[in-house]
Structure 1
Amino acid sequence: MSRHSPIFTLLLALSTVALVLTLVMYSQISFEAAVRGLKIWWEVVFPSTLPFIVLSEILMGLGVVHFVGVLLEPLMRPLFNVPGTGGFVLAMGFSSGYPVAAKLTTRLRQQGNLSQAEGERLVSFTTTGDPLFVMGAVAIGFFHSEQMGIVLAVTHYLSAVIMGLVYRFHAPFAAVSKPLEKTNLPLPLRALQAMHRARIRDGRPFGKLMGDAVQSALNTLFMIGGFIIVFSVLIQLFTAIHLTQMISTLLAIFLGPLGFPPAFSKAIIAGLFEVTLGAQAASVVPDSVSMVWKAAIASAVLSWGGLSVHAQVASILSETDIRVAPYFIARALHAFLAAILTFFFWNPLVHVSTWFLDKSVPVFVPTPSGIPETSWWETITFSGALAAGVAVLLFAISLLARCLQSGKTR
């Protein structure tokens, strides 16, 4: 059914009216859910995400992103078929979590540093959860296991990199951004030259640049907060009218004959809407279910991200011509690949993580602590250090690739 069809419009209107009536009937539940979503946004998302978006905007205005782009061009173009500036998005996306990568991709597209197809490739594999959430809230907070954190982190980020390698073949005949000019200047000097040119083209005084960065970050975060609150209410309403229970029962009927544990149907439905609820539901599955299944479902939920995150990304990308459909397909493929990698690497990661953390500790011994309490400053410090570490690693690999390429051409 086409979205331009009158029937589609009628169904959409009826669904909205039904949702409003449900909202009125369960007003107390809706209010509590809204407050809970607002608390999550204000205490966690806002303070930890605002500095990264502001600093990213400033770095783009100062031309630092172009400096990074020139240095990472020998790595990002051959591997992921995106310009070197995509390395900046990769470092920030992996360390800061969704939807920071979508915001940075949008800005690069608006500045003309990415083509449409390159933007679709980039946002499809750089939109991930941040390590503090994956290893702290999910692994330690829900599963009470530090070893689980290593398993989830490796499968989540490794599958994201593999998705980038796969998506390099997305839209192979589409237009690409302008490649680097071939000059005799050393790569660092070319990077400095690109940074200076970008700063001159921008032309804004630093005060104006700072104000625009803060304004853009606030607009983005208010949009993110709105989606968090709305989906928090929707999830509670669907639970109140037993819609999620009905869907999970139907899902269990279909997945049961395929050998899939029926107990995970609730976790899948919860994770379809919101990543935190899905990961938590996977952790409370009865102990009779194998731990590897729990890890696989949790990894898939983390890689999928939830419709709440997808709505945020779609809203951000709507400012450009970057299509959302490739991103949705990539999220589904990312979830499937992460689950497969969990089964494949389970035994090696379990042994390595047990040896790494403590040789005398049994596998997946429960930790006494709950969700780690981290301040916004600790979150920023950790994510900033991780982003710098990822950037340094990418620089080193890019320099190595550049040296190997130069050696072959001689």
Structure 2
Amino acid sequence: MCRINYFCSFPAQFPEVTVNKPKTSLKRKLYDVIICLALLSVMTALVIFPQQSVKAGGDGVKLCLNVIIPSLFPFFVISSLVIELGIAAKLGRFIEPIMSKLFRVNGACSAAFVLGFIGGYPVGAKTAITLYEKGQCSKLEAERLLSFCNNSGPAFILGVVGAGVFSNSIVGLLLYLAHTAASVVIGILFRNWGDGGSYADSSGPYLMPGKNQKAPGFASAFTIAVKNAFQTTLNICGFVIFFTVIIRLLFIANIIPAVASVLGGIFSPFGFNQAAAERLLTGLIELTSGVWTLQNSAAQLTASAAMAAFMLGWAGLSIHCQALSFLCDSGLSAKTYIIGKFLHGILSAALVYFIVRLFLIEAPVSSYLAEQVTGMTGMGFFKSLILSTGCAFLLLFCLTLFSRAISSHTLTPNKTTGKKSGKSVEKSL
């Protein structure tokens, strides 16, 4: 009995076990609420405006069939072949000094830089991520590369924007040069991103395929390239159709005009009215739709060209979603990409604005170029696909010849010493 009283008189000192429930931050709760409200609003709008939604979806499908698929699919195939066949690595050995000094990335990254300027959005981002997944660049280099390699192509800027929207080839050339120059400047600004300043720390022996890494045959590489290009193109078409419908619903629901009215009232002292705000908001969401709103604009050429330059540099939420969909499974950060595209838009707009004002470039009275571009864009799916495929394979042929010329030059034995004249990549790494 005493023993029982002894144990009962003193409370047992057992450590309390507390279960830490995961706390949901206020920021996360607010994010979830906004997403739920946005999805509910879209579903409601689709039910209330079914005919307009179907028509907008049809316009998105036509845009994919007439523009997106024939123009992007061949370049996606070529970009994959350039990497799979080892052409990017061979080109990298030649361009290594330029890429390392300017952007502090290895030479293989030049494939993403070149293809991004030729193929247009989002070929550059896809190529950069593929280089990282294939082990031809480090994570740090891929994130630096994403800040400046995803760019609009010359066909879109010179043809659609310059000739089609402004009916002025000089404006198109100016937009492309400003777009290119701004991209290079952004790459230089991000050259020190993410490390303490040592380029060697971000490099490694995995940057270039070694002799033991044999490139696959053309048949195998071509099969892989076509499969990857088809999946990528289908993904892009989904985003284009979705955002085409969203923009139409935002106009029907009077959301974009209402926001544009507020912005126009705030920035009216600077000559920024509601119509300009509507064009800018459209371009922030979807590039192609935003650029076409500048056609026959009542605004001065200086303002219209600067706005077009910003849209081309920023690229729009639709293209960002396309690029970020590639980033999901790669483990790369999207911070450099988003910041880089915003700065790209600002810098491009500033360059175009000052150059147009400095040289007093005027818009032409004739719309001949715009009519020609309209005929080109309406030439049909198969004609566009054949033309784009021919250009893409011509590019592959030129890159292959160039890479073979580089390989034969760097691997030619020196007659006097009996050694190879080129630098040993393995030794430098």
Do both proteins adopt the same fold according to a TM-score greater than 0.5, normalized to the shorter chain? yes
C-alpha contact 1:245 1:266 (8 A) present in aligned 2: yes
Distance 2:121 2:94 in 1: 25
C-alpha contact 1:87 1:391 (8 A) present in aligned 2: no
C-alpha contact 1:106 1:319 (8 A) present in aligned 2: no
Deviations 1:110-136 (A, max 9, x none): 112222221121122111111111111
Among candidates 356, 376, 379, match of residue 385 of structure 2: 376
Aligned to 2:413: none
Distance 1:2 1:110 in 2: 34
* Higher helix residue share: 1
Deviations 1:238-276 (A, max 9, x none): 111011101111111222234545542111111110111
1:248-327 correspondence to structure 2 within 5 Å:
248-260=260-272, 263-286=275-298, 289-327=299-337
Amino acid at match of 1:345: I
1:335 aligns with 2:345: yes
Give the alignment's Cα RMSD to 1 decimal: 3.2
1:14 aligns with 2:73: no
Amino acid at match of 1:52: F
C-alpha contact 1:267 1:281 (8 A) present in aligned 2: yes
Aligned to 2:151: 128
1:71 aligns with 2:94: yes
Which runs of 5 or more residues in structure 2 are unaligned? 1-23, 378-383, 410-422, 424-429
Which runs of 5 or more residues in structure 1 are unaligned? 182-190, 352-361, 400-404, 406-410
C-alpha contact 1:95 1:384 (8 A) present in aligned 2: no
Amino acid at match of 1:177: S
Aligned to 1:408: none
1:86 aligns with 2:95: no
* Local SS of the residue matching 1:126: coil
Amino acid at match of 2:265: I
Q: Decide whether aligned partners of structure 1 residues 142 and 163 sit closer, same or farther in structure 2, where only a CA change above 3 A counts.
A: same
* Local SS of the residue matching 2:99: helix
Aligned to 1:156: 179
Aligned to 1:211: 223
Aligned to 2:46: 23
* Local SS of the residue matching 1:81: coil
* Local SS of the residue matching 1:71: helix
Deviations 1:139-182 (A, max 9, x none): 2111222222112111111111111111212223385122799x
Point out the more displaced range, 379-388 or 141-150.
379-388
Deviations 1:86-113 (A, max 9, x none): 1111111100001011111111111122
C-alpha contact 1:156 1:299 (8 A) present in aligned 2: yes
Distance 1:69 1:395 in 2: 12
Superposition deviation, residue 82 in structure 1: 1.1
- Give percent identity, aligned residues only: 28
Distance 2:42 2:204 in 1: 48
Aligned to 2:366: 366
Deviations 1:312-349 (A, max 9, x none): 00001112121112211111111110011012322566
C-alpha contact 1:67 1:195 (8 A) present in aligned 2: no
Distance 1:338 1:4 in 2: 33
1:101-140 correspondence to structure 2 within 5 Å:
101-140=124-163
* Local SS of the residue matching 1:283: coil
Superposition deviation, residue 284 in structure 1: 3.4
Distance 1:47 1:260 in 2: 37
TM-score with structure 2 length normalisation? 0.79
Distance 2:395 2:366 in 1: 27
Amino acid at match of 2:145: L
TM-score with structure 1 length normalisation? 0.82
Q: Decide whether aligned partners of structure 1 residues 40 and 349 sit closer, same or farther in structure 2, where only a CA change above 3 A counts.
A: farther
Distance 1:395 1:158 in 2: 29
Among candidates 104, 110, 118, match of residue 95 of structure 1: 118
Q: Decide whether aligned partners of structure 1 residues 225 and 180 sit closer, same or farther in structure 2, where only a CA change above 3 A counts.
A: closer
Superposition deviation, residue 53 in structure 1: 1.6
Which structure is higher in RCO with an 8 Å CA cutoff and minimum separation 6? Answer: 1
Amino acid at match of 1:275: L
Aligned to 2:414: none
Deviations 1:279-304 (A, max 9, x none): 12233331xx3211111111111111
Deviations 1:383-403 (A, max 9, x none): 66678889999999xx9xxxx
1:240 aligns with 2:252: yes
Q: Decide whether aligned partners of structure 1 residues 207 and 384 sit closer, same or farther in structure 2, where only a CA change above 3 A counts.
A: closer
Amino acid at match of 2:294: A
Distance 1:141 1:269 in 2: 21
Amino acid at match of 1:224: I
Superposition deviation, residue 58 in structure 1: 2.4
Distance 1:391 1:305 in 2: 30
Q: Decide whether aligned partners of structure 1 residues 93 and 326 sit closer, same or farther in structure 2, where only a CA change above 3 A counts.
A: same
Distance 2:29 2:391 in 1: 51
Aligned to 2:202: 176
Among candidates 27, 32, 47, match of residue 70 of structure 2: 47
Q: Decide whether aligned partners of structure 1 residues 107 and 394 sit closer, same or farther in structure 2, where only a CA change above 3 A counts.
A: same
Distance 1:395 1:89 in 2: 19
C-alpha contact 1:72 1:394 (8 A) present in aligned 2: no
Distance 1:164 1:389 in 2: 26
Amino acid at match of 1:367: S
Amino acid at match of 2:300: S
